[in-house]
Amino acid sequence: MSLESAKDTESLLFSRMLQDKRILVTGGSRGLGRAFCEVFVEHGAKVAFTYRRNEEAAAETVALTKEKGFEAKSYKISVLDEPGLLKTVKELEAEWGAVDILVNNAGVTQNLPFALMDTEDWDFVMDTNVKGTYLATKAVLRGMIRQKAGVILNIGSLAGVRIIEAPVHYCASKAALRGLTESLAKEMSRYQIRVNLLAPGLLEAGVGQNLPDYKLADYLQHNSLGRVGTFDEVARFAAFLISDANTYMSGETVIMDGGL
C-alpha cells in the first residue's frame, strides 16, 4: 500500500469513528457542549443533550446538528434532577436500544474569592459539577452494565490538576472528578466500561472570559503555543477518546492545555 493510500484509509477511518454510536451529552446547549454535539454528529453518532434553561441556545444546537446530518435530541433538565435523568435515559434506551457513551460536560463556576464565598456558593458549584456528574452517570450505568460495554468521559479542567489561580470551589469540584474517574474506572472494568477525564486549559470562551487581562496575559506567556484553545479542538480530541479507536485507555486524566 502506498503512503497516499494509507493516508486515505486513515482519513476514512477517523472521519466516521463514532458511526452509529449513541451518545448523551450533559450541558450541550452552548460552548464546549455544543461543539461536542456538532463534532460527534459529524462522526456519525446519534446525539442527545441536556440543558438547564436556555431554550433558544438549545434550539440553535439542534439546528446546527441537523445541518451536519443528524438532528440531536434536546432535553430541558438539570443534572441535579435524578428522576428526570432516569426518565430521559429510559426514553433514549427505548428509542435507540442503548446509550453507548456519556459525556459529563455540564458545569458551572463563580468568580469569587474564598473569603467572600457563602455556603450556598460552594454548594451550587460542587453540586452541579460533582453531584450532577454522579447522577448522570448513575442514570446510564445500569444499561451499560447490562450490555457489558460503555464509555464515560468526564470533562474536568486544568484547574483541577494543577496549582493555578482559580476559584477554590471550582478547583475542588474539578479535582473531585479525577478521583471519581479513577475509582469508577476500576470498579467498572469488569463490565468493559471505560471511564476517562479530559482536562482542558483555557478555551476561547467560558471560564476564561472572566479572567482579568493580566491573568490572561500571564497564561499566554507561559503557554507553549501562545494561545487559548478552541472548542472545536477539544471536541475533536474528545471524539477520539470516546471512540473504538481508543479502546485501551481507562482511568486516565488527559490534559489538553497547549503546553504549560
> Catalytic residue numbers?
170
DSSP state of 178: H
Q: How many CB atoms neighbour CB 94 within 10 A?
A: 8
| The three grid cell numbers given for residue 126, joined into one nine-digit string | 460542587
* C-alpha 165, offset from chain centre: 23
Strands 46-51 and 150-155: unpaired
CA-to-CA dists, residue 154 to 62, 168, 196, 217, 224, angstroms: 22, 19, 6, 28, 25
- Tell which residue, 50, 51, 42, 35, has the closest CA to residue 19: 42
- Tell which residue, 214, 247, 113, 132, has the closest CA to residue 171: 113
